[in-house]
Amino acid sequence: MTFRAPYRGGRHFLQIPGPSNVPDRILRAMDYPTIDHRGPQFQVLARKILADLGELFGTAQPVMVYPASGTGAWEAALVNTMAPGDQVLMYETGQFAALWQNLARKLGLVTETLPSDWRHGVDASAIERRLREDREHRIKAVCIVHNETSTGVLSDVPAVRAAMDRAGHPALLMVDTVSSLGAVEYRHDDWGVDVTISGSQKGMMLPAGLSFNAISAKALAAAERGGMPRSYWNWQDIIQANQKGSWPYTPATNLLYGLSEACDMLREAGLAQVQARHARHGAATRAAVAAWGLENNCANAAEFSPVLTTVRMPEGHDADAFRAIVLDRFDMSLGQGLGKLSGKVFRIGHLGDFNDLSLMGTLAGVEMGLALAGVPHRAGGVQAAMDVLREHAARRH
């Protein structure tokens, strides 16, 4: 049995919102021979990567690197800073926020959820009100998702930090950036974040398998005072090993080669320019959705995600049936609806190693698929997106 589909001419369009396409440069970098992870050559690589990550996260503080998915980074953030029975305030903006809550409960934490309709981002004023009510400071952490991959909604992290400061509350601020790091502006230190969680497989353009915790001095102090029993996730062990250019366990050497290359590529392109490209592709995709007469799941224009667009299906039409037609006829994978949105939406990823022509091919496949699936829509989405891209190109020259 093989995992491969039968050969079809051209490239497969992987337009899910992560894992994203891995560029050839990163694939070739990962193809290097494995080296001794305790030797001097590896120490040079490790020190370079840790410096690169500080630049990417916008921090002068330590960044932990784990051979794990983003779920591991969620767990690492909590077990290093929280004790069983501690209370955490978690804002449910979508499926990934809900999964993080479930993980926290399994660790023995008391989770308090601020719910949403899965169409809006974090309401900083709601967090401020709840923290003001917590006069005994029982809440030890506020946990939010920066870019909710299930809903296509981007939340305002600086607004949450400002709300916490106005409330005068000492809780830690933890932010999931698994789908935003490298694609959307993010500044760990300047925005007053205590633990930033991220992963390798989206804006970083790598395969899944690496995850990160960027930590503040306040978070590190909390870990030194307490936390849960931990070994693999222990920040202190990693910090001590990193000072020598190593890790306290066997690292994912070839993924680290790829990480080094990804950081080089983002620097060469210019991080601000990469973020502008994501914003441009988000705007063009939303123009296409509007021209089709379909509805963006994100209900607030100020919170549109530059990473993906989540499209609501007309009543009586199944998103997964539409996705199956697109995959069969055009060899393109679109993201499925998750959790409460299962079958109700499809998600167009426009992130990572991606350009204007890739987007046009993606949107052409969607428009043709809508017609084949009998989904009520208007023609002209591709042209509307092209007009947006043409306008941006004219402004650049």
Query: What confidence tier does 395 reach under pLDDT thresholds 50, 70, 90?
Result: confident
Annotated binding site for substrate: 347
Question: What would the DSSP string read from start to end of 209-250?
Answer: --EEEEE-HHHHHHHHH-----STT-HHHHHHHHTTT--SS-
Max CA-CA distance within the chain?
A: 64
Q: Which residue has the higher pLDDT, 243 or 5?
A: 243
pLDDT tens digits, residue range 203-230? Answer: 999 999 999 999 999 999 999 999 999 9
Assess if CATH 3.90.1150.10 describes domain 13-17+270-396: yes
For residue 397, the model assigns a pLDDT of: 59
For residue 8, the model assigns a pLDDT of: 87
Annotated binding site: 347
Tell me whether the omega of the peptide bond preceding residue 158 falls within 30 degrees of 0, making it cis. no
3-state secondary structure of 103: helix
Cβ contact 253:42 at 8 Å: yes
Query: What confidence tier does 6 reach under pLDDT thresholds 50, 70, 90?
Result: confident
Q: Which residue has the higher pLDDT, 8 or 16?
A: 16
pTM: 0.96
For residue 181, pLDDT over 70 is answered with: yes
Average pLDDT value over all residues in the chain = 96
For residue 393, the model assigns a pLDDT of: 79
Once rounded to an integer, what is the mean pLDDT over residues 62-69? 97
Once rounded to an integer, what is the mean pLDDT over residues 300-314? 98
The fold of the 33-252 domain, in CATH, is Aspartate Aminotransferase; domain 2 (3.40.640)
Written as six digits, the tokens of 120 are 């809006």
Owner of token pair 């963006």: 296
C-alpha dist (Å) from residue 379 to 48, 230, 238, 386, 388: 49, 56, 54, 13, 16
CA atoms within 13 A on the CB side of 224: 9
pLDDT tens digits, residue range 353-365? Answer: 999 999 999 999 9
pLDDT tens digits, residue range 121-162? Answer: 999 999 999 999 999 999 999 999 999 999 999 999 999 999
Specify burial of residue 109 (Cβ count, 10 A radius: 0-12, 13-18, 19+): buried
Once rounded to an integer, what is the mean pLDDT over residues 264-290? 97
pLDDT tens digits, residue range 333-387? Answer: 999 999 999 999 999 999 999 999 999 999 999 999 999 999 999 999 999 999 9
For residue 2, pLDDT over 70 is answered with: no
Question: What is the DSSP code (8-state) at residue 344?
Answer: T
CATH 3.90.1150.10 residue spans of the chain: 13-17+270-396
Question: What is the DSSP code (8-state) at residue 301?
Answer: G
pLDDT tens digits, residue range 109-122? Answer: 999 999 999 999 99
For residue 195, the model assigns a pLDDT of: 98
CATH 3.40.640.10 residue spans of the chain: 33-252
For residue 320, pLDDT over 90 is answered with: yes
3-state secondary structure of 173: strand
Cβ contact 219:140 at 8 Å: no
